[in-house]
Amino acid sequence: MAMISAVCTQCGARLEINSEKESAICPYCDTPFLIEKKTDKLKSEADNLAKSGDTFLTLKEYSAARGKFEMLSNKFPYDYRGWWGLVKTDSKNFTDFGISKMKLDEINQFYSKASTVATVAQRNEMQHQFENYYADVCSELSKIKTAAYSRLNQLEKEHGHNKADLLNQINLLTKQKNNLDKMPSKKLDKGLIIRYIGMIIIIGNSSLNNLDGGTIFVVLLVAGVITWLIHHICGMKLDSNFRKKNSEINEQIRLLQGQLEAEEKHYRDETNSLYAQIKKAGNV
């Protein structure tokens, strides 16, 4: 006759009880009590964890459900419900088709463990549901991967065309800027000297030869002032036009360089996003 250890719930006495009995009476305080066998207690705990996990699944509280099934699989690894529950929580009860290949492989490992410890009937029940889900996710990931590669090729062409067009516009404007004359008034300086010398020669050969030196000096002075005023007014106008044109070209170049930077950033960001999708799809 096998004996098990027990503790009286009333007086706390340690007792040795026949394992075949369902109840006993404490010889010290005459208190009757039921004997809760360890196997029944463990089964009850496993059932409670499984039931709680399934309840949270129904409520779509997947994080809470996962906690229950993790406890079940860790404490009772021989119970397929813990591993199968992790399959259901991580797939959001087979409704999440946007998971990565890495996550799908992790779910597949849980399914493999559930199948290993399950009975034939339990395995058959799980197999159809999981294999359909696995195939659907792989199909979705394959579409994502194909679309990402297609977009990468298209993006490469678009980026190359846009970049070349912007660089060409910048180069043309840079050449146009370089071809602009330096401050136009500088050219007028030489012209002023030449015109003034020419005026002196003309006046010298004119009828002013009959005038005295003082009068000739006044005439030359007035002619010089008039020439300088004309030069100054024309030079200011030309310089103003030059500065305006130069400023317009610089602004156009600045805007194009900004567009080029934006184009490069857009290309990098979208490329990184596409490669992330390809990585997510993995080897499907």
Strand partners, 32: 25
3-state secondary structure of 118: coil
- Phi, psi angle pair for 17, to nearest 5°: -120, 145
Please tell me the distance from the alpha carbon of residue 154 to that of residue 162, in angstroms, as a whole number. Answer: 12
Cβ atoms of 284 and 134 within 8 Å: the answer is: no
Q: How many residues does the chain have?
A: 284
pLDDT at residue 276 in the model: 94
The answer for residues whose C-beta is within 8 angstroms of residue 274's C-beta and 6 or more apart is 148, 151, 152, 155
Query: 54: closest CA among 23, 87, 85, 12?
Result: 85
Domains of the chain, with CATH numbers?
Answer: 3-35 (no CATH), 40-118 (1.25.40), 146-281 (1.10.287)
Each of the 284 residues of the chain gets a pLDDT tens digit; together they read: 456 666 777 777 777 776 666 666 788 887 776 655 544 555 788 899 999 999 999 999 999 999 999 999 999 999 999 999 999 999 999 999 999 999 999 999 999 999 999 999 999 999 999 999 999 999 999 999 999 999 999 999 999 999 999 999 999 998 888 877 565 555 555 555 555 555 555 555 555 555 555 665 565 566 666 666 666 666 666 667 777 888 888 899 999 999 999 999 999 999 999 999 999 998 87
User: 208-223: per-residue pLDDT in tens?
Assistant: 555 555 665 565 566 6
Q: How far lies 51's CA from each of 65, 69, 85, 112, 119, in Å?
A: 10, 10, 10, 22, 19
Q: How far lies 123's CA from each of 118, 136, 229, 249, in Å?
A: 6, 20, 105, 75
Pull the structure tokens for residue 154: 């298209």
pLDDT at residue 211 in the model: 53
Containing 102, the helix (H) or strand (E) segment is helix 101-117
